[in-house]
Structure 1
């Protein structure tokens, strides 16, 4: 057994190297996973480019938090996971050959998912957002931002009997939303025209539910405008680049509920991960068409930059390992 592994290390803004680092060892209550791959999250982009509070070098394998692979070592006190189990993890150093995860932050993948990539964290996140959105048959649901998360939520909301209005910048994203069940699509290019379009579609009532899945100021502003009286605004975007201003007068006037659904409670995340595994294994949800770009570990920087730049047809990048 080798005592080292390859890991991506962020050495400065947009500067990433491959380094040979010691193989991590699991402690009590932990498992070690020999990774097969890791998804690339849009939240990787800003830390990759550097933030005012960034320090360098970063941790080996840092930024990678969507890993899956085979358990190859377990620590003391771990009883429900075995060496050889194929798992999805909620660990945070998965741009590397191996990662350590708490045993209560991994979920075993069933045989139905054998050989299939499974970036569990974002799929679990989508399930948690969907649950918090409290969507019912017959409702109109606007989803602002159709990337990986928005596409999955489009499928879940449509299957729940809602009419989905998908709003996004790129035509390819709107086409994707249609394939995942959206009844209406609107190009995200003009604030007031979008509001007028939604009013026209809904007979001036606006939407019972609006999910903001971008994580930027304007989409948040727009999402609030699209919620009807007594409706719910579900903030699913990961707002990590600074504070936000909101129109409290408008929110109060319409009496809307604001739900912050991108929560980080470990128990909630594990629940969502398990629900995602069941949904994909049963065939209720098929995320495979969303995995549009793949990169080896040595090219993880390119994968993050593609996530930022979104080349034609891009939805989600996976970093896969031999």
Structure 2
């Protein structure tokens, strides 16, 4: 074959996208990855953005079990965007639909989603960010917590999740005691409706304060939303007799020892609020869309930091370090 023949021969073009890859602990690089093609029952979403989840921080730190480099877009699971390709057998979504999606490689320009794991965003949410996974998670946790008017609810840890749950519990008629480390978080809790705020500094002082605020009864419901050992221990101490302790924090750093004597004596119910049924995930997502689009819930002030994909490392570090004023980071795509 001559050089002229090589030049004249048409070449197949391979469509690509920009995607983040984590080659090692605390590092990112942006690569050109093949544009994924939807299979049966799938849609492809051209992403507008993806929230940054605190569950990313353990893989980001590089534990022994983590494998590097990650797949393109890996760890991103809070994406939203516009459907731009539809696989065979998909009838309820069409090209051009704006959706929130439950997918798992959304630190990229595009991601594939099972059609049943995507939910349309109504016109009322047009142009607004919508990290559906954490919002749906908050709705499912709230449902599992079984909160009613007149109850006292302690929320241990006021980040994005704790702030949303503070608003939901307050709107249900509960009296919320918010407990958190940062003064900014305590002020945020007050803005979200908390009746009382307690600095999370001294273990015994917190217990004494909540005991005083509840007349010695402690709380009918306690939601632990940190994912660390001490807040979980504290949450157990704050749960009253026959109350419910709801574990909403994501515990990734090893086993936990709990005060089973106390838990037995008080007869508390312990609820692991992490869902694993995809259908329940989607139920929470749809409930979140309804709550936000109706105006019942406004998470917009909680999206405090935004970064382009090239600065994903800064977004992850901010999620870890929580500078003053930080609640939630979004990675956005122009």
> So what's the TM-score if we normalise by structure 2?
0.95
**Equivalent residue for 2:10?**
none
In 1, Cα distance between the equivalents of 2:37 and 2:314? 29
Query: How well do the aligned residues superpose, as a CA RMSD in angstroms?
Result: 0.8
Q: Does 1:137 align with 2:149?
A: yes
Q: Which residue of 2 aligns with 1:107?
A: 119
Whichever of the two has the greater Rg, that structure is 2
Is the 8 Å Cα contact of residues 304 and 327 (structure 2) preserved in structure 1?
yes
Aligned to 2:3: none
CA deviation digits over 1:226-267, x for unaligned, max 9? 000000000000111211111111101000000000222211
CA distance in 2, matches of 1:89, 1:298: 22
Would the aligned equivalents of 2:243 and 2:269 in 1 still touch at CA under 8 Å?
A: yes
Structure 2 residue runs without a partner (length 5+): 1-12
- Report the secondary structure of 1:57's partner residue: coil
Q: CA deviation at 1:312?
A: 1.0
**Equivalence for 1:178:** 190
* Residues paired across the two proteins, number: 322
Aligned to 1:96: 108
The 1-side partners of 2:70 and 2:256 are apart by 27
CA distance, structure 2, for counterparts of residue 245 and residue 299 of structure 1:
38
1:121: which partner in 2?
133
* Aligned pairs for 1:10-89 within 5 A: 10-89=22-101
Report the equivalent of 1:261: 273
Task: Confirm or deny that 1:294 pairs with 2:306.
Answer: yes
Where 2:316 maps in the other structure, the secondary structure is helix
Partner Cα distance (2:127, 2:74) in 1: 25
SS in 1 for 2:64: coil
**Can you give the 5+ residue segments of structure 1 that lack an aligned partner in the other structure?**
none
Q: Which moved more, 1:238-247 or 1:249-258?
A: 238-247
Q: How far apart are residue 35 of structure 1 and its match?
A: 0.2
Aligned to 2:321: 309
TM-score normalised by L of structure 1: 0.99
After TM superposition, the runs of 4+ consecutive aligned structure 1 residues lying more than 6 A away are none
